[in-house]
Amino acid sequence: MKNINFKFIGIVCLVLITSMKSYSQISKADIIATGLTCSMCSNAINKQLKAMTEVDSVSTDLNTNTFTVYLKKNNVISPKVLRASVEKAGFFVGSMVLTMTFDNYKIADNLSFKKGEETFIFVGVKAKILNGDTKLKVVDKGFVTQKEFKKSLKTLSKYPSYVDENENNFHLKTI
């Protein structure tokens, strides 16, 4: 009788573990920097990004001022750390798109998940299931241009966490 109970409990635990919805860390970030005037400007940002221990490599597109940051596996990095790195070089983030891998993860408008100290909140999205690599645009102040922030403030002000401007809340739109 005891063997049957332990086997049953083991099977139930295995089923629960394999059916859990999960998300992973950020695997890549596409950052468009603003305020660049020459190739030396992009070099300064490139050096700052490459200096972070979580970063595997960085590729740069000088035509669009886009820095694609490939992150190491099992990294623990926050979008605010990436933004701070760009700002430390003396520039600003005009756009940040994160690539995260999801496994059967259900999202809906104003649904959130926590990762460490950060809370990621989906805004302006329809309910759906995310699978595989997913691109998510951070729409908070400091992660979009000032013009885009002002424009989206009216529509996104219905989310109390957006108006709050908590530095550990990141509002995401799927792309």
Give the CATH number of the domain where residue 71 resides. Answer: 3.30.70.100
Confidence of residue 24 (pLDDT cuts 50, 70, 90): low
Contact 45, 82 (CB under 8 A): no
Residue 125 pLDDT:
95
Residue 16 maps to a domain: no
- In angstroms, the CA 164 to CA 119 distance is 13
Residue 5 maps to a domain: no
Q: Domain tally for the chain?
A: 1
CA atoms within 13 A on the CB side of 22: 10
pLDDT in tens, 107-154: 999 999 998 899 999 999 999 999 999 999 999 999 999 999 999 988
Residue 110 maps to a domain: yes
Could you tell me the strand order of the sheet in which 169-174 lies?
55-61, 66-71, 22-34, 92-107, 128-138, 169-174, 118-122, 112-115
83 in helix, strand or coil? helix
Residue 159 maps to a domain: yes
The residue among 90, 51, 93, 53 whose CA lies nearest residue 73 is 53
* Percent of the chain at pLDDT exceeding 70: 86
Q: H or E segment at 68?
A: strand 66-71
Helix extents (H) in the chain: 2-19, 39-50, 79-88, 146-156, 160-164
The residue among 65, 119, 115, 117 whose CA lies nearest residue 89 is 65
Residue 6 maps to a domain: no
Range of the domain at 162: 21-174
Residue 8 maps to a domain: no
Residue 122 maps to a domain: yes
Measured CA to CA in angstroms, residue 83 lies from 5, 11, 88, 96, 97 at distances of 52, 45, 9, 9, 12
Residue 100 maps to a domain: yes
